[in-house]
Structure formats: C-alpha cells, structure tokens
C-alpha cells in the first residue's frame, strides 16, 4: 500500500511539472470552440501571443534606418484576458547586420510598442516577454546588447535553436535567465527525404545524452503540417497544411513515395500555379515523432521546464488528439 501511494504521488508530481502553453501567431487573436477545447484539454492557462515582427528593409520606411515593425497584432478576443499573456517579438537576424544600427534606439522602440499593444488590448503593461531571433556568431554582440537593454524593462525569455546549443561556444549564451528551445523547423526544406518540421534523427545530430546548456528551457513543439513545393530551379514555396487527399485524388499529381508527389500536368493548387515537373513534399507529423524527439531532449542533461505548442490554428488542432499527445509526453 505504501509503495502504491508513493508511486501515485510521484506521478502527480511529474504531471504538475509539465506546464502546457500555446503560441498564437496571427495578427487577429480570435477565439473559437476549437481553441477553447484544446486549451481545456491541455489544462493550459498561458498564451505566447505574437505582437509584431522587426525586419530590415532595403529602403528606409517609417524609421530612417529602414528597420520597421510589421505583422503588428491588430485585435484580441476578450477571452484571452482570462489567460496569462507573454508577448512575443520576432526579430530577423538581418536587423543586426544594419551598419548604422543604434541598439539603444531599437530597444526603446520595441519597449514602447510592446507597452502600447499591452495597454491597448489588456489595459496594463506586461512584464514578461519573449524575443524570437535566430542569431548567428556574427550578430551575437549586437543582439546580446539589445537583450541587456530590454532586460532592464522586462523579464526576458529568448528562443534557442538546436545549432545554438550544439555550437554554444561560437554562438554564445544570451544574457537572460531562461530560454525556449524551438524543436521545429529543424531540417532542410529542399531535402525531399526529410521532414523539415521535426525528425528525431535530425534532433540527435545536435543533442545527445551529455548535452548541456546553462539556461533552463521550455520546449516548443509543433502541431502543424505543411506542403513544400520545389520548382525546377530548386526554389521553395510553402503551402499551409498538408492535405494528402488533394494530391492522391487529382490526376495532375503522381505519387512518388509516401510523402512525395510530382506535378505531371500544369495546375492550380490553393492559389499557387504548379508547373509540370514541380516536386511536392507533404510534411506531416505523427505523435510518435513528436514524442521521440521530445524524449531525446529529456534524456540529455538540458534543464527543461514546460511545453509550448506551436500553434493555435483551428485546422491543425482539429487533426490531433491533444489530450492523448500530452499524456505521452
């Protein structure tokens, strides 16, 4: 009896540690029955809400250095006011390659726009934010300076990619207290034999049982699928979602293997013109691939906390049994 009680207690403790959150990555934060069902089944009360992107343009626009905010959050459904909100700002690596970049000026802009959006939609300032940037060895000094400046105003969480863990001596450790490991978009879109969204064999090229990192990490896991189109010049386009029936039941396409098709006659697909000879790759994820990749992380020496699912999309969420997936993780 005592052993049974101890086992039950440990199981409850493990479950309690696994905080589940979601990304919302659309300019209009709408709320529907599918979102409500998914949030409830995952017992989630935190939303990582995309506020805006910061990009660098060829020609100056709005700001004289050509650095502009885009995809700014436009509206938020009232239901989200019941959740803990973490604003997310995506910054392209190219921003930190601008020759006349003024870090203090940029950090002030980000701070002011984050606060403006928080006050507009939630009637308060929000202290914790996430900065999403795939920085490189050449941009780390400028990026880390920005983080230090923003850290004076906010409790920062930053995204970390697999290569930034494996090659941390080169890419550096960001000056923050916590991070989020992005466990998706890990492979090569152009490699027709890979699932570039997530594949455990790719994760294992970066993470092993001895892998360490000095920051505690949330783990961001994918819930989406996509269709990759490669033309004759090896250029890539991505179509949202992977709808297998479209390609299996249409004579314009020939199935090559389990995930690849070839365009055999010119056609239109979801607004995209596809020419004969184009290659199609369906990138879909099974629960097993997600669970196995997550297990690779858990078997390392990385310090892991909660899980953040990417992202709140009605079609993606309707295609999975979220409560079963959460139980397996």
Mean pLDDT calculated for residue range 53-70: 71
The reply to whether 278 and 288 lie within a common domain is no
The two tokens of residue 137 are 């060895």
pLDDT surpassing 70 at residue 9:
no
* 324 in a structural domain: yes
* 115 in a structural domain: yes
Q: Distance between CA 111 and CA 146 in Å, rounded?
A: 11
The reply to whether 166 and 306 lie within a common domain is yes
Q: 75-106 burial by CB neighbour count: b if 16+ within 10 A, else e?
A: ebeeebeebebbbbbbbbeebbeeeebebeeb
What one-character DSSP code corresponds to residue 2? Answer: H
H helices, E strands: number in the chain: 11, 18
Q: What is the pLDDT of residue 219?
A: 98
Mean pLDDT calculated for residue range 40-64: 81
Structurally, the chain folds into a number of domains equal to 2
Q: What is the pLDDT of residue 17?
A: 54
Q: What is the pLDDT of residue 58?
A: 52
Q: What is the pLDDT of residue 65?
A: 63
The reply to whether 291 and 278 lie within a common domain is no
The domain in which residue 249 lies consists of: 226-283
The reply to whether 232 and 318 lie within a common domain is no
Mean pLDDT calculated for residue range 317-323: 92
Q: Please enumerate in sequence order all residues whose Cβ is within 8 A of that of 191, keeping only pairs 6 or more positions apart, or say none.
A: none
Q: Distance between CA 148 and CA 143 in Å, rounded?
A: 9
Q: What is the pLDDT of residue 231?
A: 95
């Amino acid at each position: 009896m005592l052993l049974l009680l101890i086992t039950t207690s440990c199981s409850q403790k493990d479950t309690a540690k696994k905080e589940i959150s979601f990304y919302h990555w659309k300019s209009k934060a709408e709320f529907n029955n599918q979102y409500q069902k998914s949030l409830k089944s995952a017992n989630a009360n935190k939303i990582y809400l995309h506020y805006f992107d910061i990009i660098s343009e060829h020609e100056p626009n709005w700001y004289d250095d050509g650095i502009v905010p885009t995809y700014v959050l436009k509206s938020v459904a009232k239901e989200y006011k019941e959740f803990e909100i973490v604003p997310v700002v995506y910054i392209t690596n190219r921003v930190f390659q601008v020759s006349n970049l003024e870090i203090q000026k940029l950090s002030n802009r980000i701070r002011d726009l984050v606060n403006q959006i928080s006050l507009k939609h939630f009637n308060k300032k929000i202290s914790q934010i996430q900065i999403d940037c795939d920085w490189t060895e050449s941009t780390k000094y400028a990026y880390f300076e920005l983080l230090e400046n923003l850290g004076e105003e906010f409790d920062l969480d930053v995204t970390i990619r697999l290569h930034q863990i494996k090659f941390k001596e080169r890419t550096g450790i960001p000056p923050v207290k916590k991070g989020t490991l992005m466990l998706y978009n890990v492979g090569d879109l152009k490699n027709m034999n890979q699932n570039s969204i997530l594949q455990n064999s790719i994760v294992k090229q970066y993470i092993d049982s001895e892998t360490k990192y000095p920051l505690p990490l949330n783990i961001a896991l994918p819930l989406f699928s996509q269709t990759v189109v490669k033309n004759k010049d090896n250029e890539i386009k991505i179509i949202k979602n992977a709808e297998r029936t479209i390609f299996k039941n249409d004579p314009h396409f020939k199935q090559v293997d389990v995930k690849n098709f070839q365009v055999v006659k010119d056609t239109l697909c979801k607004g995209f013109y596809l020419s004969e000879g184009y290659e199609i790759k369906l990138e879909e994820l099974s629960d097993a691939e997600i669970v196995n990749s997550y297990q690779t992380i858990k078997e390392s020496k990385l310090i892991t906390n909660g899980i953040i699912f990417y992202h709140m999309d009605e079609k993606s969420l309707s295609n999975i049994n979220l409560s079963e997936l959460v139980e397996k993780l």
